[in-house]
Amino acid sequence: MAKGKSSEYKKMIDTQYRDLMKHCQVHMEKIEKDLPEPREDFLAVLKERGVSRRDFIKWTSAMTAALMLPPMFRPMVAKAAENFSRLPIIWLHFAECTGCSEAFLRSSYPNVDNILLETISLEYHETLMAASGYQAEQNLEKAVKDFSGKFICVIEGGIPRGLHGKYLTLGPKGKTGIEVAKEVAKKAAAVLCIGTCSSFGGVQAASPNPTDAVSVKKAIGVSTVNIAGCPPNAVNFTGTLLHYLMFGALPALDNLGRPIWAYGKRIHDYCERRPHFDASEFVEEWGDQGALKGWCLYKMGCKGPYTYANCGKVRFNDGISWPIMAGHGCIGCTEADFWDTMAPYEKPLPDKIYGGGEKTVDNIGIALTGVAVAGVAAHAVASGIRHKGE
């Protein structure tokens, strides 16, 4: 009975994936017709950069798995990668540190993801382009006009709303961030937010938020795909774009707009130090025996249990390491308003202090319980006197 059911289930899944495959093939053909020729031959670029065909095939397997697709999609992922530079991209910067761009571009051993991002058809990127002033403005207008409805708008940085958005003005015409974002996002096929600033506001939105900086979604009211993180992993960005190239649609999102394939589980669920958590092996202070043995960083303020991200699985810098592996707890940078909700970063959450004092919620709790016990004791004595002899 159970066997029959599982085979039926398998058949159903098989047909679903076959349909998806057909959809994918049709879409890829359409893209090859619609979008401009790739600027560079991706396979030649890979060869030039010392990535062998074998490495590339390995990468397609990993990416297919990361996108939660079965192995039969590997050729499609490879094809999408070859067509990657067909996709016109306009990259806007608002209130942020450009750290996300830096993280994507400056890896010492570029892997396929990084090379993909380098061959990307960037129509406009304030940090990288040669043009400046009015010329830059012209480039942006031209790109928006030429690829209207086809380009992907990538936004890095939150948008300040204070003083009618005048805390952030850009370019020779002194446009505010809100104006630029509205103009470009209106014509975009999709808006991708890179990093926590554009996704949720980021550091400039931390309390007391003097410039009233908010996420792109809140500032201009468009639905966005949020690739959260400070910085996010290049894999999460390329994966989302590959998904868009393959199926013509954005991946499934969670309730904060993050792709579920990348942000579906918590750091805590994937963590390599998790067994030490369950075994009650915690680092008590920096550099102690536990730290040397690679024990759990929960008591050192790791916010892995409250953070949805795949850092532990895909890791950073060509898969070399990631924060918890390096010995510091997670600070929860993929979550909304993490500057406020995850503080203090090197202590557990209940150690948050109040006001100008050094009082945590536990100090207050103990004090209140003490007062309550003293109060009932005093009340008992007073009652004894008042109701004496009854």
The residues of the shown chain that bind another protein, judged by CB under 8 A, are: 254-256, 266, 268-269, 275-282, 284, 289-290, 295, 298-299, 303, 305-307, 332, 335-338, 341-342, 348-350, 352, 361-362, 364-365, 368-369, 372-373, 376, 379-380, 382-383, 386-387, 390
Strands (E), 68-145: 88-93, 121-125
CB of 281 to another protein, least distance (A): 6
Computed from CA positions of residues 211, 216, 222, 228, in that sequence, does the dihedral angle turn out positive or negative? negative
CB of 350 to another protein, least distance (A): 5
CB of 310 to another protein, least distance (A): 15
DSSP 194-237: EHHHHHH--GGGSTT-TT-EE-HHHHH----EEE-SSSPPHHHH
Residue 302 DSSP class: -
Task: Return the number of the residue (75 or 305) whose C-beta is nearest another protein.
Answer: 305
CB of 12 to another protein, least distance (A): 20
Task: Return the number of the residue (117 or 330) whose C-beta is nearest another protein.
Answer: 330
Inter-residue contact 124 to 155 (CB < 8 Å): no
CB of 376 to another protein, least distance (A): 4
Among residues 198, 127, 185, 115, the alpha carbon closest in space to that of 152 is found at 185
Among residues 39, 29, 156, 134, the alpha carbon closest in space to that of 87 is found at 39
- Tell me the two tokens of residue 165: 């958005």
Task: Return the number of the residue (64 or 307) whose C-beta is nearest another protein.
Answer: 307
Task: Return the number of the residue (221 or 350) whose C-beta is nearest another protein.
Answer: 350
Rounded to an integer, what distance in angstroms lies between the CA atom of residue 13 and that of residue 8?
Answer: 9
CB of 230 to another protein, least distance (A): 15
Task: Tell the burial category of 62 from Cβ atoms under 10 Å away from its Cβ (0-12, 13-18, 19+).
Answer: middle
CB of 328 to another protein, least distance (A): 17
Task: Return the number of the residue (129 or 349) whose C-beta is nearest another protein.
Answer: 349
Rounded to an integer, what distance in angstroms lies between the CA atom of residue 133 and that of residue 126?
Answer: 10
CB atoms inside a 10 Å sphere around CB 278: 8
CB atoms inside a 10 Å sphere around CB 15: 10
What are the Cα distances from residue 139, in Å, to 36, 77, 84, 130, 191? 17, 31, 21, 11, 19
Task: Return the number of the residue (128 or 368) whose C-beta is nearest another protein.
Answer: 368
Task: Return the number of the residue (44 or 380) whose C-beta is nearest another protein.
Answer: 380
Helix (H, G, I), strand (E, B) or coil at 381: helix
Task: Return the number of the residue (128 or 366) whose C-beta is nearest another protein.
Answer: 366
CB of 353 to another protein, least distance (A): 13
